[in-house]
Structure 1
Amino acid sequence: MDSSADEVVHDFPPLFRIYKDGHVEKFIDTDYVPTSDDPNTGVRSKDVVVSPETNVSARLFLPRTTAPSHKLPLLIYIHGGAFCIQSPFSSLYHNYLGSLVAQANVLAVSIDYRLAPEHSIPACYDDSWTVMEWVGLHANGGLGPEPWLNDHADFRRVFLAGDSAGANIAHNMVVRAGIARQVFDIKIVGTVLIHPFFGNNKPDKLWMFICPETSGCDDPRLNPAAHRSLLSKLVCKKVLVCTAEKDFLRKRGRAYYEALKSSGWGGVGEIVETEGEGHVFHLLNPSCEKAVSLMKHVASFINPGHVLSLL
């Protein structure tokens, strides 16, 4: 009798383990929330398939609008989860994006990328870039396949944002966009990095395993602060870094901000730290006072005119 189904060869609690026969066990189940028209906020959502070949998709969020041709800032959001878990379709991210879209009055594209370890890095980067290219198809004359983007997206006011691993991916997408500006005609105005996953000052076993081609702890994708020449070329003109006092990733987030300021980059950087809170507290307890405050800060960064009009 083959016992390989029970033999563990790689174990990364609390995320996943891999057995000798190749199957993967995820420890954290991700729920699924269907799209809807939220009667409380007026935010509508829909799912789109971006690449049938790789099964890359996205969930779109559209706030209550006053005119069919009303143009809104466009937010491209990338979820966290250590590159291994979560999705835009979970209650955690569906609810967060719905609230952010309502408060900031933006159109949002929440990316569903392939997860590790089933799909090693750089799959998450490649999938996110595929979605960005797909978004770019709509920028020239409103001729893309998605009506919401054609009708409502202002492609001169595009923001990238993400939390944890998603913040890592968001940063890397801005770097890639700066290198490949000719690929699509969208203007990335700003980036929001919430509790970004940029590793630690020691080898990260998870990163080393899910990114077999990595150059190590100072891989520019993992530790951008060690590569200031790349930071200086960020295509956006403003960056918001959000850290939390008790977050185990706090130091690298702050190091990123300090490196960005001294890199020669010509934009405006801002850092906001939440005292007494841990990693992604705003997702786990979204109604607490500090999470509400952080939401307002992010919304104001993306669409200050709208948020100020509400105050």
Structure 2
Amino acid sequence: MASSTEIAHDFTPFIRVYNDGRVERLLTAPRLPPSTDPVTGVQSKDIVISSDPEVKSRIFLPKINPEHPPKKLPLIIYVHGGGFCIGSPINIVTQAFLTPLVSQTPAVAISIGYRLAPEHPLPTAYHDCWDVFQWIASHAAGSGPDQWINDYVDTGRVLLVGESAGANLAHYIAVQAGVNKTSLGIRGLIALHPYFSHKEPDNLIKFLYPTSSGTDDDPKLNPCSDPDLEKMGCSRVLIVVAEKDSLKPRGVGYKETLERSKWGGKVEFIENEGEDHCFYLFDPSSEKAKGLFQTLVSFINQVI
């Protein structure tokens, strides 16, 4: 009989799950407290969307001159990746990505928090992300619970951004926003190295989402099976893939699915040659990462 310390599931490089129920996350990044960046002047603060269960997100505000009247800025809603089981809206990776993006756009950004699997099996992450989006939408009339959003956000100029599993979740938000006629004006979606399911069962997804087949017949896991795809609530999508990324075919498939659908929006596609999954997060100072970053800033400024 296996002891409680033996590994029951090993999904390297993401997580190990032991027979006693412990979860060991193999890729983690330090969590950072809210702060003001000394270089860009970008401020951040945490917000608790829900206390039971607790769902926390973080708002990033570009440098503001307190002597000037508040200026309405576009809003970037960011969903972190990590295979639905690692990552955080308040860690150093998220901070390093959003701080320069907010500064250079400029825009306000909200990094969405969601509960992680397997402790909170999918589709919990989808529901949490939609709940946070609805909380943000409650500010559309300028009288929501957060003053930064009320004062500084133009809720008619919104962009969704997600990487890896976060791109999957951001796509889900975009579709739900269209289905439910949201009060936020979503202008576009950026899907960075998206993680969707494919025809063969994905063992990690099957473990994290026990009520799903883990294949592309699940509309949450793959847009090709979503009857509501044509209602997606934005008109432009930028899809980014990396040449050496094992998930590249899924990003290509996403592009083809959108182009074949009745959605009717514009799809733009970029491939980073010689690079692997989410390389821009792990080596943001590289020339290709800088080039991709400037492409993102340009796309955002065109769309919103």
TM range (shorter): over 0.9
Residue 202 of structure 1 and its aligned partner are, at CA, apart by 2.0
**3-state SS, counterpart of residue 300 of structure 1:** helix
Residue 305 of structure 1 and its aligned partner are, at CA, apart by 8.7
**3-state SS, counterpart of residue 228 of structure 2:** helix
Matches within 5 A, 1:135-284: 135-140=136-141, 142-181=142-181, 184-218=182-216, 219-227=218-226, 229-284=227-282
**3-state SS, counterpart of residue 214 of structure 1:** coil
Matches within 5 A, 1:41-60: 41-60=40-59
Q: Once the two structures are superposed, what CA deviation does each residue of 1:262-282 show, in whole Å capped at 9, x if it has no partner?
A: 212221110111111010000
Q: Once the two structures are superposed, what CA deviation does each residue of 1:168-196 show, in whole Å capped at 9, x if it has no partner?
A: 10001111111111xx4111111000000
The AA in structure 2 aligned to 1:19 is: Y
Q: Once the two structures are superposed, what CA deviation does each residue of 1:71-117 show, in whole Å capped at 9, x if it has no partner?
A: 11111100001111111221111111101111110100001111111
- Tell me whether 59-68 or 250-259 shows the greater mean CA deviation: 59-68
Q: Which runs of 4+ in 1 moved over 3 A?
A: 65-68
**3-state SS, counterpart of residue 231 of structure 2:** coil
CA distance in 2, matches of 1:124, 1:7: 28
Whether the 8 Å CA contact 1:36–1:44 is kept in 2: the answer is: yes
- Tell me whether 273-282 or 32-41 shows the greater mean CA deviation: 32-41
Whether the 8 Å CA contact 1:196–1:249 is kept in 2: the answer is: yes
CA distance in 2, matches of 1:102, 1:225: 36
Whether the 8 Å CA contact 1:68–1:152 is kept in 2: the answer is: no
Structure 2, unmatched stretches of 5+, are none
Residue 4 of structure 1 and its aligned partner are, at CA, apart by 4.2
Matches within 5 A, 1:101-112: 101-112=102-113
Q: Which residue of 2 aligns with 1:118?
A: 119
The AA in structure 1 aligned to 2:232 is: L
What's the TM-score, normalizing by structure 2? 0.94
Q: Which residue of 2 aligns with 1:8?
A: 7
CA distance in 2, matches of 1:186, 1:203: 35
The AA in structure 1 aligned to 2:191 is: L
CA distance in 1, matches of 2:231, 2:156: 19
The AA in structure 1 aligned to 2:207 is: F
Q: Which residue of 2 aligns with 1:95?
A: 96
Whether the 8 Å CA contact 1:73–1:303 is kept in 2: the answer is: no
Whether the 8 Å CA contact 1:231–1:265 is kept in 2: the answer is: yes
The AA in structure 2 aligned to 1:257 is: K
CA distance in 2, matches of 1:127, 1:23: 23
Whether the 8 Å CA contact 2:242–2:274 is kept in 1: the answer is: yes
Whether the 8 Å CA contact 1:281–1:291 is kept in 2: the answer is: yes
What is the count of residue pairs matched by the alignment? 301
CA distance in 2, matches of 1:35, 1:68: 24
Q: Which residue of 1 aligns with 2:37?
A: 38
- Tell me whether 161-170 or 200-209 shows the greater mean CA deviation: 200-209
Residue 19 of structure 1 and its aligned partner are, at CA, apart by 2.2
Residue 65 of structure 1 and its aligned partner are, at CA, apart by 3.3
CA distance in 1, matches of 2:281, 2:177: 28
CA distance in 2, matches of 1:3, 1:241: 44
CA distance in 2, matches of 1:135, 1:209: 31
CA distance in 1, matches of 2:282, 2:37: 21
Identity %: 47
Rate the CA distance shift 1:20–1:96 in 2: closer, same or farther, 3 A: same
Residue 10 of structure 1 and its aligned partner are, at CA, apart by 2.1
Q: Once the two structures are superposed, what CA deviation does each residue of 1:37-86 show, in whole Å capped at 9, x if it has no partner?
A: 11211211111111011110111101123543201111110000111111
Q: Which residue of 2 aligns with 1:22?
A: 21
Whether the 8 Å CA contact 1:139–1:186 is kept in 2: the answer is: yes
**3-state SS, counterpart of residue 303 of structure 1:** helix
